Chain A
């Protein structure tokens, strides 16, 4: 997971450099990957910004790392004002279903509220909670549970 996030950082740095050099808004500079994701797309968000933040067990408070990711999402959303997003809150399976629906909603709301505080119009952000019913990682161990306690931003 750490590796993945570092990778996202590197990609962002590349993109920024590229944009600076060319001044182009299409982001298809020669220094990017040969067939990079379309700017402002879901794939762009995942590859170059980071689409998700992670939470501690039974918590919905944003870590420093989570705030950094959301800062990048806010900047990206400022860059692509036509893009609307869905923020989905998820939980590990070490809680009960109904409570986790509320907890997932709280996680999604925490991410949304941060984005709004960073200037993203609230009308551009929808939230949903899947509780513990839509895990990213299908295993059952600390590592899998940590991955599943998240809020995932996607383009809608």
Chain B
């Protein structure tokens, strides 16, 4: 079970035998607009062809992404038809970009793509089989009045000629992208056996202006770069935003009033407040898995220490007191352990200690003077991602290792790559990549968000309107 791929595949296989077509009601919160999900009306009985199912494990999917046909969703009128086209295109982008699906070019469709396929009818499976589709998505968008839209979709398994899923969603028309992401997540889960990560957002730091007078603003966007907006106005430098896993809240560091401290940002109200009036600089916050406390670093003495702050009482509890720099703490997903960065052994390395503090065990042992930083525990618990510095080239790299320090794999390298964050299912890591200035004016410097599969494949730049650093991935549905 040391190979994360095998672990993922094992889970996927286990899930894949479930099959069936029942829709589940989705609990969607995090201070966002409600979306109601209901099972779609039963489709006429599909013939059932007995062919090989599109439901496969991810291990095979790496070699061969699942070919999937996603014709435009049909619409009752011109507006609904446009919405149907838009929804199909967002689903197509989500599934194509993740690297585990291969959306089939609409030009190859035998049935006219522009007309869409009414989801209430059983598809002509032969038309999809001959173009190589293993899965087919059909859907319909219709206005139901009051600014609300109802979107129905069905997922079909082409070779066995069966319906895998049928669900209808109702929400405001303006919220249509979210429905598309939710549908993409359902398709991902039904075909790969693991929850998806498309209905998620990214909070990050947007950077503008010259490097010596950089303006840094908190920004948030959907994981596909849509709906970007800025949460702070740039008056004060902000750093390292992180999502609360259970509430619509972000912890971040702000230099407000020239007093660098950890703040909370409430996504519902837009209000920010200081976490507590503690002595010294507080920084590097992350939430506990239950969302009820923040773990962070405080520098109020010689180095910096790891502390937790309970969100209800705002009481601080110190977990380390080494005199060294102890920084960048992150809980294991079960909340029992903390991985953190420390130079207590002479240079920056990764350590693990019990959640209550106590004896720490070093887990990183870079050869050739490599240093390790920014550890973050996978939501699946099986990997710790990190930034590695130094080595032969002086470049930085992003990698993963097992929590006992074994099995290190480098995923990406560059002049500066830093700050990994996992998507909710642990399958993809986002980080930021900077290019060096090539002149004394700072020209040539850039900062971009990047995603990469934990297998090291499918590295992609994430589009942002400005330079971007410090990404943090939201929980699913947040």
Chain A residues close to B by CB (< 8 Å): 58, 86, 93-99, 101-103, 105-106, 109, 128-131, 133-140, 144
Are B299 and A137 neighbours in the complex by a CB distance under 8 Å?
no
**Residue among A58, A98, A105, A128 making CB contact with B240, cutoff 8 Å:** A98
Closest CB pairs A-B (n = 4) = A138-B442, A140-B436, A96-B373, A98-B284
Which residues 337-361 of B have a CB within 8 angstroms of A? 341, 343, 347-348
Are A129 and B260 closer than 8 Å at their CB atoms?
yes
Known: A99-B348, A102-B325. A138 touches B303 (CB 8 A): no
B374–A128 touching, CB < 8 Å: no
Q: Which residue in A97, A102, A106, A134 is a CB contact (below 8 Å) of B470? A: A97
CA A109 to CA B212, docked complex, whole Å: 22
Given A94-B389, A139-B442, A99:B328 Cβ within 8 A: yes
B286 shortest CB reach to chain A, Å? 10
**B445 within 8 Å of A by Cβ?**
yes
CA distance A109 to B299 in the complex (A): 10
- Selected from B216, B325, B445, B470, the residue in CB contact (under 8 A) with A99 is B325
Instruction: Name the distance in Å between A63's Cβ and chain B's nearest Cβ.
Output: 20
Question: In the complex, given contacts A58-B347, A96-B419, A98-B373, what are 13 additional A-B residue pairs having Cβ atoms less than 8 angstroms apart?
Answer: A94-B394, A95-B348, A96-B387, A97-B374, A97-B418, A98-B341, A99-B341, A102-B304, A105-B299, A128-B281, A133-B239, A135-B211, A140-B445
B295 to chain A, nearest CB (A): 13
Q: Specify which chain A residues have a CB less than 8 angstroms from the CB of B373 in the assembled complex.
A: 95-96, 98-99
Instruction: Establish whether residues A139 and B347, one from each chain, have CB atoms under 8 Å apart when the complex forms.
Output: no
B297 at the interface (CB under 8 A from A): yes
Q: How far is B261's CA from A129's CA once the two chains are assembled, in angstroms?
A: 11
Cα-based distance from A137 to B436 in the complex (angstroms): 13
Is the Cβ of A102 less than 8 Å from the Cβ of B303?
A: yes
Q: B393 at interface (Cβ–Cβ under 8 A)?
A: no
Complex: chain B residue closest to A143, CB-CB? B440
Q: What's the nearest-Cβ distance from chain A to residue B470, in Å?
A: 7
* Contact status B216-A133, CB under 8 Å: yes
B437 contacts A96, C-beta separation under 8 Å:
no
Is the CB–CB distance between A93 and B239 below 8 Å?
no
Q: Which residues of B contact A94 (CB under 8 A)?
A: 389, 394
**Contact indicator A98/B440 (Cβ below 8 Å):** no
* Closest A residue by C-beta to B284: A98
- Closest chain B residue, CB of each to CB of A127: B281
A93 CA / B432 CA spacing, docked (Å): 14
Are A140 and B437 touching (Cβ within 8 A)? yes
CA distance A98 to B419 in the complex (A): 10
Decide yes or no whether B416 CB sits under 8 A from chain A: yes
Instruction: Specify which of A96, A98, A109, A129 lies most central, judged by the most chain B CB atoms within 10 Å of its CB.
Output: A98
Please tell me if the beta carbons of B211 and A97 are within 8 angstroms of each other in the complex. no
- In the complex, which residues of chain B have a beta carbon less than 8 angstroms from the beta carbon of A99? 325, 327-328, 341, 343, 348, 373
Residues of A within 8 A of B146 (CB): none
Q: Contact partner of B439 among A58, A134, A135, A139, CB < 8 A?
A: A139
Q: Which residue from B214, B416, B418, B440 sits with its C-beta under 8 Å from A133?
A: B214
Task: State the Cβ distance, B190 to closest chain A Cβ, in Å.
Answer: 39
A contact residues around B214 at 8 Å (CB): 133-134
Tell yes or no: B210 within 8 A of A by CB.
Answer: yes
Q: Is the C-beta of B313 less than 8 angstroms from some C-beta in chain A? A: no
User: With A and B bound together, what is the CA distance between A136 and B72 in angstroms?
Assistant: 53
Contact between A96 and B303, CB atoms less than 8 A apart: no
With A93-B416, A134-B212, A140-B445 in contact, do A98 and B374 touch (Cβ < 8 Å)?
A: yes
- Is B389 in contact with A96, judged by CB distance below 8 angstroms? yes
**B210 to chain A: which residues have CB within 8 Å?**
138
Give, as a whole number of angstroms, the nearest-CB distance from B375 to chain A.
Answer: 11
CA distance A106 to B304 in the complex (A): 9
Chain A residue with Cβ nearest B300? A105
**Which chain B residue has the least Cβ–Cβ distance from A139?**
B440
**Pairs across A and B, CB under 8 Å, 13 listed:** A93-B416, A93-B434, A96-B418, A98-B341, A101-B260, A101-B281, A102-B327, A128-B258, A128-B260, A135-B211, A135-B212, A139-B438, A140-B437
Query: Are A103 and B260 neighbours in the complex by a CB distance under 8 Å?
Result: no
- B237 in contact (CB, < 8 A): yes
> Taking the complex as formed, is B283 at the interface, i.e. its CB lies under 8 A from any CB of chain A?
yes
Contact with A along B281-300 (1 / 0, CB 8 A): 10110000000000001010
Is B441 on the interface with A (CB-CB < 8 A)?
yes
Nearest-neighbour CB distance to chain B for A111, whole angstroms, equals 14
A47 to chain B, nearest CB (A): 20
